[in-house]
Homo-oligomer: A and B are copies of this chain.
Amino acid sequence: MIQKYKNEEKVLVAVDCIIFGFDQQDEELKILLIKRNFAPEKGKWSLMGGFLHADETLKDAATRILHSLTGLHNVYLEQLKAYSEIDRDPVERTISVTYYALINIEAHDVELIKKNSARWFKMSNCPKLIFDHNEMVNDAIERLRYRASTQPIGFELLPVKFTMRQLQKLYEEIMDEKLDKRNFTKKINSFNILEKLKEKNKKSSKKGSFLYKFNQQKYQQKIKNGFGFKI
């Protein structure tokens, strides 16, 4: 039998999730936060997190944590960074690895988030969070911006059918800047990954705007060939 690393110190490893959603009602980018009902910092807002178990990878843990809060499977997840300041958690030395998740805000389990005392916050109105969680959120937005400018990441956040305006609004929220609709449409179309449907969405205007759907096949093709995506 192979000898173990006997003299090394073990530490607690946590996983925290920065969960992004795009609220189609008010067209705003939001993050899902929980009100802690346990010590320390009980009653304060926090990212959803948990400890890494011995039988799972970090991504497994993030998936489990995400599922326990939203009821969702198959969520877009990307590892961000490990945080390791000695006293970041006042209870005990804990390092935390963050993942950010992109979910369709309409699809999550409303009961579950109630049970977890969770709530969606506008990105632009993020409350003070426990520990180093605000730093984590800031790092996540930065990464989200980078990803969104490199890949058509936004699709994870929208329903299956969406309008060009919704897609543009989403990008504007992520990038935190206004975009020109003619240039935006042109650019998106040039990637040739959308399918224009015959249906219109009439909620947002009298004229109504055409719905689009994401062409998975063309998209996967592009991913393989490295995209030239750049917003």
Question: Contact residues of A with B, CB < 8 Å?
Answer: 2-5, 8-13, 39-40, 51-59, 79, 81-82, 84-86, 90-95, 97
Contacts and interface: CB of A to CB of B under 8 A. Distances in A.
Contacts of A10: 10-13
Max chain B CB contacts within 10 Å: which of A8, A56, A85, A90? A8
The interface residues of chain A, by DSSP majority, are classed as loop
B11 A54 contact: yes
Contacts of A40: 2
Copies of this chain, count: 2
A40 B4 CA distance: 10
Given A57-B86, A58-B95, A79-B81, A8 B4 contact: no
Given A3-B91, A5-B91, 4 more contacts: A5-B94, A9-B51, A56-B86, A58-B95
Contacts of A2: 39-40, 90-91
Indicate the member of A56, A57, A79 with the most B CB atoms within 10 Å. A57
A39 B85 contact: no
Contact of A12 (B5, B39, B81): B5
A107 to B, nearest CB: 27
Nearest to A89: B5
A140 to B, nearest CB: 15
